Amino acid sequence: MDEIKNKLWAIGGGKGGVGKSVVTLLLGASLARLGNKVILVDADLGGSNLHALVGIRYPQYTLADFINKRVETIDEVVMDTPVNNMRLICGADDILGMANPKYTQKTRVFNNLKRLDADLILLDLGAGTSFNTIDFFLYAPNKIVVLTPQITSMQNAYGFIKASLYRRLNDAFGKEPEAAELIKRASFSAPGESIDSLARLYEAFRSLGEEQQERLLNCANELKIKLIVNMVKESKEKNVSNIISSVAKNYLGLDVENLGAIQYDNVLNASINNMAGFLANRKESSAGSNFYDIAYGIVKNIRKSNALNPSPAA
The CA distance from 116 to 9, in Å, is: 13
Q: Comparing 52-61, 257-266, 269-278, 286-295, which segment has the lowest mean pLDDT?
A: 269-278
Q: Is 4 within a domain?
A: yes
| pLDDT, average across residues 44-69 | 85
The residues, any chain, with a CB within 8 Å of residue 72's CB and separated by 6 or more, are none
Q: Look at 284 and 36; give whichever has higher pLDDT.
A: 36
- Count of domains in the chain? 2
Q: Which band of pLDDT confidence, cut at 50, 70 and 90, is reported for residue 93? A: low
- Same domain, yes or no: 93 and 53: yes
Same domain, 203 and 75: no
134-189 confidence digits (pLDDT tens): 999 999 999 999 999 999 999 999 999 999 999 999 999 999 999 999 999 999 87
Q: ∠ at Cα 221 (205, 7), nearest 5°?
A: 145
- Evaluate whether residue 293 is within a structural domain: yes
CA–CA separation, 286 and 138 (whole Å): 31
| Residue-level pLDDT at 314 | 42
pLDDT digit string, tens, across residues 186-231:
998 788 889 999 999 999 999 999 999 999 999 999 999 999 999 9
What pLDDT score does 100 carry? 66
Between strands 120-125 and 8-13, the pairing is: parallel
Mean of pLDDT values over 75-86: 94
Identify the residue with better confidence: 93 or 287: 287
Query: How much is the mean pLDDT over the chain?
Result: 89
In the chain, DSSP assigns E strands to: 8-13, 38-43, 78-80, 86-89, 120-125, 142-147, 225-232, 257-263
User: Per residue in 1-32, pLDDT tens?
Assistant: 566 789 999 999 877 788 899 999 999 999 99
For residues 95 and 162, state if they share a domain.
Answer: no
The band of 247, judged by pLDDT with boundaries at 50, 70 and 90, is very high
Domain identity same for 168 and 109? no
Query: Is 282 domain-assigned?
Result: yes
Nearest to 143 by CA among 230, 89, 44, 224: 224
Longest dimension (CA), the chain: 62
Residue 104 CA to residue 109 CA, distance in Å, equals 9
Provide the CATH number for the domain around residue 27: 3.40.50.300
Contact criterion met (CB below 8 Å) for 12 and 145:
yes
Phi/psi for 50 (5° steps) reads: -60, -40
Q: Can you give the pLDDT at residue 278?
A: 79
**Strands 86-89, 78-80: parallel, antiparallel or unpaired by DSSP?**
antiparallel
Q: 263 near 287, Cβ under 8 Å?
A: yes
Structural domain range at position 177: 150-226+236-254
CA 287 to the chain's CA centroid = 20
Q: Are residues 92 and 161 in the same domain?
A: no
Is the domain of 10 the same as that of 79? yes
Domain shared by 156 and 139, yes or no: no
